[in-house]
Structure 1
Amino acid sequence: MSVNTFNHRWASVILEALTRHGVRHICIAPGSRSTPLTLAAAANAKFICHTHFDERGLGHLALGLAKGSGERVAVIVTSGTAAANLYPAVIESGLTGERLIMLTADRPQEMIDCGANQAITQPGLFASHVTQSLNLPRPTPAIEARWLVSAVDNAVALQLQGTVHINCPFAEPLYGEWDNEEQAWSEALGDWWQESQPWLQQPQSRFSESQRDWNQWSQKRGVVVCGRLSAAEGQQVAQWAAILGWPLIADAQSQTGQPLAYADLWLGNPKAQAILQRSELVIQFGSHLTSKRLLQWQNACRPQEYWLIEDRPGRLDPAQHRGRRIATAVGEWLRQHPALPGKPWAQLLTELSSAAHTCIEQRLANEFGEAQVASRMSALLPPHGQLFLGNSLVVRLVDAFAQLPIGYPVFANRGASGIDGLISTAAGVERATCKPTLILLGDLSALYDLNSLALLRQSSAPVVILVVNNNGGQIFSLLPTPIAERERFYCMPQQVDFSHAAAMFGLHYRQPQDWASLYQQVTQAWQHGGVTLVELKVAETAGAEALRQLVQQVGAL
C-alpha cells in the first residue's frame, strides 16, 4: 500500500463530506503534516481556499468568514503549536455561535510523548470550548470509508453552534505521486461521490412553541433590550417594539436603529431608572451587551418576568433573572408572537435620549478626536457597506455616542471581547460579503494583529481601517487602576506611527488633522477603492474623559 496515496484518499473523503454540510470557505496555513488535507482541499472545486501564514490570524479569518456568510467554515493547520494558535478563535466562536470546523493534522500515536519533533498531545486540546471533538485514527484501508464519512457527518450534524475539532493523524510519506492502489476503498461509497447529501443525514429541529399567555403579557408595561442581532432581525424587532409602544434599549450591534439612542448616558439618570422600575416584563433579543450602564440596569431590574430570546442555547443572562429562556430564531419568535398596538408608556425616555444627543453635540462640536468620530460614525459609513467595531474603548464610545442606521450591518467580536484577531476577523467578514467595509479599532488592537493587514491586500471591495491612536490602552483610564502604575502596567504606550505599517503592506495611508479632512479622505476612499489605513492621532485620555463627563452631565439632567 502507498501510504502517500492512501493519506490523500482518506483526506479527500473528509473534505468531500464537509461540502455536504454547506462548507464552501476553507482557510489553510502552510505545513507539512497537513499536506494530505491541503492537497485534497485544493483538488476539490467546491471550495474557496484562503491562506494565511499565521494560524492565529487564520482562525480569526475563518471566524469572520463565518460571521459574514452565516455558513460553516473549515480550517486546516499542521501539528504542534499551529493547532494551539487556533484557540482564541475557537473560544470566540463558542461564545458567539459561529460554526467553525478545525482540521488539525497530527503525528501518529507512536510519535507522541517520545521526543518527536512538532508532536504534542492534540486530542482534547480545546477542552470545553468546542461543541464536538472527533479524534480520527491513522488512515488505514482496514477501516471502511463508510465509517470515516459517517463519523464526520455525525460530528458536524450535531454542531448547532461553535467549533468542531477533527484531529487527523497522518504517517509519512506525505509527498509523492498518487497511484491507483486502494481505489476500491473510496469507490465503496458508490454514487455518494456524485450526489450532494451527507452519507448520514441527521436533521436538527429547533422549533419552539409559542407562549400561550402572550396576549396577557403583551398588554403589560414591557421593555425590549437588544444585543447582537442580524440586520433583518434588528429591523423586525424595532418595528415590533414600536407597535407595542414599548421602549427599546439597543446595543450598537443590534442594527435596530437605536430608537432610544445614547442609552449608556441616560440610563445613569435617576428619572430614567424610576420609570423603568415600572416595567412588568423585559424581553431581551440577542446577547453580549456592551454598555456598562445597560448591564448595571439589567442586573438591577426586577420585572415580574425576564425573557431572553436567542437561537443559541444556554442561559446567556449574567443577572440570573426569573423568567423564560427561549432558544429559537428571533424572526420565528416574532412571527409567533405578533405585536398588539399599544400606547407608549415611557415617553420620558425619548425626551432623555433627545437631551443626551444635544449634550453630545455641544460637548464634542469642536473637539476632534475619537469621541467626536464615534458620535459622527454614521457619516463615515460606506453606502451599501458594513461596519466592523473593535473592542475596548472604541466600541464603548460608539455605543454611547452614535446612532447607527437601522438595518446597517455591524460586526464585532463581543464574545470574549478580546483585542486579538480583529483585523483578520474583519478581513473574513469582507471576503464573505464583498461589501465596502469600515473597520474601527484602537492602536493596541491594530498592533496585536498587524500581520493580518496582509489579508486585506486581497479585498474585493473598498476597505478603510480607521486606527484610533491614543497611545495605548486608554480603556484603563476609565477604570480605577492605580495612577502610579497605570501607564507602565495597563495603558502601555508604544509611541508608534502606522504609516510604516501601511507602507509595509502596500496600503494607502492618511492622517487627517480635523473632521473635515477625515470626512473627505474617507469619502474619497469609498470612491477610489483599495485599502486605506487612516490613523487618527488623538490626545491620550480625551475620549475616556469625554465619556466620563457626558455620563455625569446626562445623569444630572
Structure 2
Amino acid sequence: MTSIIPFLQLADLCVQKGIKDIIICPGSRNAALTVAFTSNKSLNCKSISDERSAGFIAVGQSISTNKPTVLICTSGTAALNFHPAVAEAYFQNIPLLVITADRPPEWINQHDGQTVFQENCYGKHVKKFFHWLPDQSEASISYAERTSNDAINLADSGPVHINIPIREPFYPENSNLEFSPWKNIQFAKIDHVIPKSEVDLFLQTVRNSKSKLLVVGQNLDKNLGEVAAIFASKYGFTLVGDSISNCEKGIKNQDVILKTIDSKSLESLKPDFLISIGSSLISKSLKLFLRNTKAENHWHIEDEEEIIDPFISITRKVVANPQIILNQLIEIDCSHDANNQWDTFEKEAERRIDNYFDQNSNYSEFQVVNELIKSIPTGSVLHLGNSMSVRYVNSIQKNIPLNTEIHCNRGTSGIEGTLSTAVGHAMQTDKAIYCLLGDVSFQYDKNALWNNYMPSNLKIIILNNGGGIIFQMIKGPKEQDSFNEFFRTQQNHKADLIAKEFGLTYISINKNEDIQKGLSKLNKSTKPTILEIFTDPEINELVYKTLFK
C-alpha cells in the first residue's frame, strides 16, 4: 500500500523553500500528490484540466513571482503534454518544478494503461531529472528527501523534473495526515569578484576599440536593463536591445536603421568590441548584421558554462551573473567616449516612423497595434505572440510607454502557450496584463480560458487577418500554389462565441473609425476582455513593408 506521508513531506518541503503556487492536472495516478498538496493550507493550488495549457499557465505564474511554480500530473501522455512549456522555461531560465506520477517499473511497456517512458522524458530541456524509487523503504524515503531538496534548489534557475512511481491503491484510507517534516537542505550560490587580470583585459580592450556595442537579448529583469544603460554610458558603448530586452534606454529602431541605410553607412556601424548579454533576439536584421560584421572582440557574459554563439563571432565567454559583472565595472574610476554614429541613424529612424504613421491612413493591423501600444497605461505588462505580433511591436518599440514589462515565449518561439502564459501571469498580479497575438495562435491556445480562475485584469487582443500572416510577409510561401491552405492556413473563425462561452467581454474593430473607441473600451474594462481586430492580409502586407522602403 502506498503511504501518503512522503507526499505530505514533499509538499511541506516546497513550503519550507518558499514555494507557494501549485498547478494540478486532474488524474488518478497522482491522487496522493493531489491530496498532499491541497491539504497544505500554505499552498495556493489550482486545478487546470488541459496539461499543455497548464504548463504555460505555470510558466506565466513563475514569470510574475520569480519563484518555481509546481506542475503536477498523472502518468502517461499527460506528462508529455507539459513538454512545450518545459522547453520554453528551459531556454528562458524560468523557475519550474515538474512532478509527474508514473507507473511502477514492472508495468512499463507491458500494455498497461496510461503508460509511456517517463524517465528523462524532457531530455535536455530540464536542468536535471530526478526519479524516486518505487518502494517506500526507509532508505528509499531518505533518497527521496535528498533528491527532492536538490531538485527544488535547482528549480530556482529553470525547469527540473521529479518522476514518482506510485503503486495502487492511490487514495488514503484515513484522515490522519500527521508527519515529521523533511530537513531543508540549504543551497548557496557565491558570485566571485572579477579577477584583476580580467579587469585589466577589459580596460585594455575598451581603450583599443573605437566602436563598442552592448547588445541585450531577451531579459526579464528591468534592473539589468538599467545597469546595462549606466555601464554603456560610462564606457562609451552603444546600447541596443529588442523590445523583449526590457531596456528602456538605448537604440530602439535597429530594424528600421539596418534595413534602410546604405552599405557604406552599415559598415560605419561595425563594432570593434561587442559585449552580449541576455538570450535570444527578435531582430533578424541585427543578428545578420552582427554575423556579417564579426567584431574583433566579442565577449558574452552569462552564468551558464555552455558556449552559445548566435552571431558566430564569440572570442571570450565570461561565466558570471551579467548584472554583478557590469556593476563591478561601473565602480571603476574611469570613463570613455562613445561613437555616436548609431545615435545619428536612430534620430533619422524616429523621424521616418513618425512620418510613416502621419502619412499612412490605410486601415491595417500595424496601424492599430501602434495605437494600442501608445494607449497602454504605464506600469502594464504586455505579452506578445510570436510571428508578426512581436515583430510589429519591435518595429515601433520607441512608442512603448515607460515601465511597461514585455514578455514573449522566445525560448522556443512557438505559437502555442502565449495566451496560457499571459493567463498564468495575470493570476499572480494586479497589474493590467495585455496579450497581443494572432488569430491562429489564439485558436491554438484557447483552452487557456478553460479554468475557474479567470483574472479580471486580462486583456486579450487578437489580430484576425484570416490566417498566419507571417507567411505573407516572407519571401517564398506566397509564390506557392499551396499557399493559402498549407502555409497561411486560411481560416474564418472569430472569437465572439468563445468570449460568450467563457464569460469574457467582447469588442471588435473593423475600420479606422472603430480604433479609438475600441481601445478606450478595452483599457477601461474591469472584466477579462477580448478585443478582436479584423483586417485584410493583403493591405497588412503592403502597409508594413512600406515602412522599410
**Partner AA of 1:327 in structure 2:** V
Superposed displacement of residue 387, structure 1: 0.7
Instruction: Give the aligned partner of residue 434 of structure 2.
Output: 438
**Partner AA of 1:526 in structure 2:** N
Task: Indicate the larger mover: 331-340 or 445-454.
Answer: 331-340
Superposed displacement of residue 75, structure 1: 0.4
Alpha-carbon spacing, 1:528–1:442, altered in 2? closer, same or farther (3 Å): closer
**1:354 is aligned to 2:347:** yes
Which of the numbers 207, 227, 230 marks the counterpart of 1:236? 227
Instruction: Give the aligned partner of residue 8 of structure 2.
Output: 12
CA distance in 1, matches of 2:431, 2:145: 36
CA distance in 2, matches of 1:430, 1:326: 35
Which of the numbers 337, 341, 344 marks the counterpart of 1:343? 337
Instruction: Give the aligned partner of residue 216 of structure 1.
Output: 204
CA distance in 2, matches of 1:314, 1:272: 35
Q: Structure 2: 5+ residue runs without aligned partners?
A: none
Instruction: Give the aligned partner of residue 289 of structure 2.
Output: 297
Instruction: Describe the superposition over 1:443-477 as per-residue Cα deviations: whole angstroms up to 9, x where unpaired.
Output: 10001101112348521x52211100111111112
Instruction: Give the aligned partner of residue 537 of structure 1.
Output: 534
**Partner AA of 2:320 in structure 1:** T
CA distance in 1, matches of 2:238, 2:460: 34
Alpha-carbon spacing, 1:335–1:410, altered in 2? closer, same or farther (3 Å): same
Superposed displacement of residue 258, structure 1: 5.0
CA distance in 1, matches of 2:308, 2:429: 28
Instruction: Give the aligned partner of residue 386 of structure 2.
Output: 391
Instruction: Give the aligned partner of residue 467 of structure 2.
Output: 472
Alpha-carbon spacing, 1:40–1:130, altered in 2? closer, same or farther (3 Å): same
Instruction: Give the aligned partner of residue 184 of structure 2.
Output: 199
Task: Give the 3-state SS of the residue equivalent to 2:245 in structure 1.
Answer: coil
CA distance in 2, matches of 1:289, 1:398: 13
**Partner AA of 2:185 in structure 1:** L
The residue correspondences of 1:159-170 to structure 2 (distance < 5 A) are 159=155, 161-170=157-166
CA contact (8 A) 2:96 2:156 kept: no
The residue correspondences of 1:309-348 to structure 2 (distance < 5 A) are 309-338=301-330, 340-347=334-341
Superposed displacement of residue 364, structure 1: 3.4
Instruction: Describe the superposition over 1:239-297 as per-residue Cα deviations: whole angstroms up to 9, x where unpaired.
Output: 332343432221011122253222112113235412112x2211112120001101101
CA contact (8 A) 1:138 1:170 kept: yes
Alpha-carbon spacing, 1:23–1:537, altered in 2? closer, same or farther (3 Å): same
CA contact (8 A) 1:388 1:412 kept: yes
**1:486 is aligned to 2:486:** no
Task: Give the 3-state SS of the residue equivalent to 1:12 in structure 2.
Answer: helix
Instruction: Describe the superposition over 1:102-136 as per-residue Cα deviations: whole angstroms up to 9, x where unpaired.
Output: 11111222222221111222112112222211111
Instruction: Give the aligned partner of residue 273 of structure 1.
Output: 266
Alpha-carbon spacing, 1:546–1:401, altered in 2? closer, same or farther (3 Å): farther
CA contact (8 A) 1:457 1:507 kept: no
Alpha-carbon spacing, 1:276–1:503, altered in 2? closer, same or farther (3 Å): same
Instruction: Give the aligned partner of residue 172 of structure 1.
Output: 168
**1:41 is aligned to 2:37:** yes
RMSD: 2.3
Instruction: Describe the superposition over 1:395-428 as per-residue Cα deviations: whole angstroms up to 9, x where unpaired.
Output: 1111112322444211110011000011111111
Task: Give the 3-state SS of the residue equivalent to 1:261 in structure 2.
Answer: coil
Superposed displacement of residue 19, structure 1: 2.6
CA contact (8 A) 2:378 2:404 kept: no
Superposed displacement of residue 167, structure 1: 0.8
CA contact (8 A) 2:32 2:172 kept: no
Superposed displacement of residue 179, structure 1: 6.0
Superposed displacement of residue 504, structure 1: 1.3
Alpha-carbon spacing, 1:454–1:516, altered in 2? closer, same or farther (3 Å): farther
Task: Indicate the larger mover: 286-295 or 207-216.
Answer: 207-216
Task: Indicate the larger mover: 78-87 or 527-536.
Answer: 527-536
TM-score for the superposition, normalised by structure 1: 0.90
TM-score for the superposition, normalised by structure 2: 0.91
Instruction: Describe the superposition over 1:299-323 as per-residue Cα deviations: whole angstroms up to 9, x where unpaired.
Output: 1122221112234443232233232
Superposed displacement of residue 390, structure 1: 0.8
- Runs of 4+ deviating beyond 6 Å: none
CA contact (8 A) 1:90 1:163 kept: yes
Instruction: Give the aligned partner of residue 150 of structure 1.
Output: 146
CA contact (8 A) 2:362 2:543 kept: no
CA distance in 2, matches of 1:346, 1:368: 37
Superposed displacement of residue 139, structure 1: 4.2
The alignment-based identity, stated in percent, is 27
Instruction: Describe the superposition over 1:49-79 as per-residue Cα deviations: whole angstroms up to 9, x where unpaired.
Output: 1221100000111111111211111100011
**1:100 is aligned to 2:85:** no
**Partner AA of 1:215 in structure 2:** L
**Partner AA of 2:530 in structure 1:** L
Q: Structure 1: 5+ residue runs without aligned partners?
A: none
CA contact (8 A) 1:251 1:258 kept: no
